[in-house]
């Protein structure tokens, strides 16, 4: 596929590199322009372009930037896309750690619902709930017992099918967790967030969350807040706390 990636940091570069190894053609962009991406692009075999260029003639666009910076993407960037282009977003909202107060996002509490509204096109949420390091190193062949599973949410079934295939190619099982309004189940503060769990465990934990955001909101937000506080003072301890379920 022809894939364009907006954001070439930890996640964007890991996704670009893995997709290129799979035989996809990848263009990357960041906020500082293509000259700043020349070295990375050369190393991984991507094309470095501007944000305006990166969305052109692509089957899949991946948005992988800090949540607050979604506000600074060019207005109407996505409205020019043909309807069959799949737009993936990998973002997580960390208000006290990085993103600050975004009132509309705080109000709804559902990160990717807000991103979808900002971009003005349907998005598929995926890759937000795996660390870039696991994404890079922990892909496994299909049917391996403890292959990591990734939650996927979005409103467009056809777009999700494209994403399921890409997730599988990258070495992970995909699990459809619902619509974008249900994507809270894969946000920071949930029991499936960055836990490197397999499909059975992911299904079990997703089921245990139930279906009502209003029932879960308080507990998920409190956990995210606690995690942000821990990340600030002791990031390795936060990482250790995630891996309470160990793949064997």
Q: Which residues bind ligand NAP (CB under 6 A)?
A: 6-12, 29-32, 36, 51, 64-67, 69, 72-73, 90-92, 128, 131-132
Between 38 and 158, name the residue whose CB sits nearer to ligand NAP: 38
Within 8 A by CB and 6+ apart from 122, the residues are 87, 116, 154, 155, 156, 159, 180
Nearest approach in angstroms of CB 135 to ligand NAP is 7
Q: Which is nearer to ligand NAP, 30 or 183 (CB)?
A: 30
Q: How far is the CB of 212 from ligand NAP (least distance, A)?
A: 25
Closest chain position to ligand NAP (CB): 9
Burial 59-88, CB ≥16 within 10 A → b, else e = ebbbbbbbbbebeebeeebbeebeeebbbb
Task: List the one residue out of 92, 19, 12, 14 whose CA is nearest residue 59.
Answer: 19
Closest approach of ligand NAP to the CB of residue 143, in Å: 25
Residue 14 CB, shortest distance to ligand NAP, in Å, is 8
Closest CA to 179 of 127, 120, 110: 110
Q: Please identify, using beta-carbon distances, which residue of 67 and 191 lies nearer to ligand NAP.
A: 67
* CB nearer ligand NAP, residue 37 or residue 212: 37
Angle in degrees, CA 155, 160, 163, rounded to 5: 145
């Amino acid at each position: 596929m022809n894939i364009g990636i907006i954001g070439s940091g930890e996640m964007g570069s890991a996704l670009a590199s893995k997709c290129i190894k799979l035989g996809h053609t990848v263009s990357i962009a960041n906020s500082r322009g293509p000259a700043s991406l020349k070295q990375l692009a050369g190393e991984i075999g991507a094309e470095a372009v501007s944000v305006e260029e990166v969305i052109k003639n692509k089957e899949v666009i991946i948005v992988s930037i800090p949540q607050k910076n979604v506000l600074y993407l060019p207005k109407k960037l996505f409205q020019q896309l043909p309807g069959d282009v799949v737009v993936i977003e990998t973002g997580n909202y960390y208000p006290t750690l990085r993103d600050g107060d975004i009132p509309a996002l705080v109000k709804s509490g559902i990160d990717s619902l807000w991103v979808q509204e900002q971009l003005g096109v349907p998005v598929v949420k995926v890759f937000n709930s795996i660390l870039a390091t696991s994404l890079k190193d922990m892909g496994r062949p299909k049917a391996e017992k403890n292959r990591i599973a990734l939650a996927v949410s979005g409103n467009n079934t056809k777009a999700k099918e494209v994403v399921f295939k890409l997730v599988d190619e990258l070495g992970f099982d995909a699990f459809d967790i619902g619509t974008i309004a249900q994507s809270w189940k894969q946000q920071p503060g949930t029991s499936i967030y960055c836990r490197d769990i397999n499909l059975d465990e992911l299904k079990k934990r997703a089921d245990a969350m139930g279906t009502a955001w209003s029932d879960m909101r308080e507990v998920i937000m409190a956990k995210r807040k606690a995690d942000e506080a821990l990340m600030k003072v002791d990031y390795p301890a936060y990482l250790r706390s995630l891996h309470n379920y160990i793949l064997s």
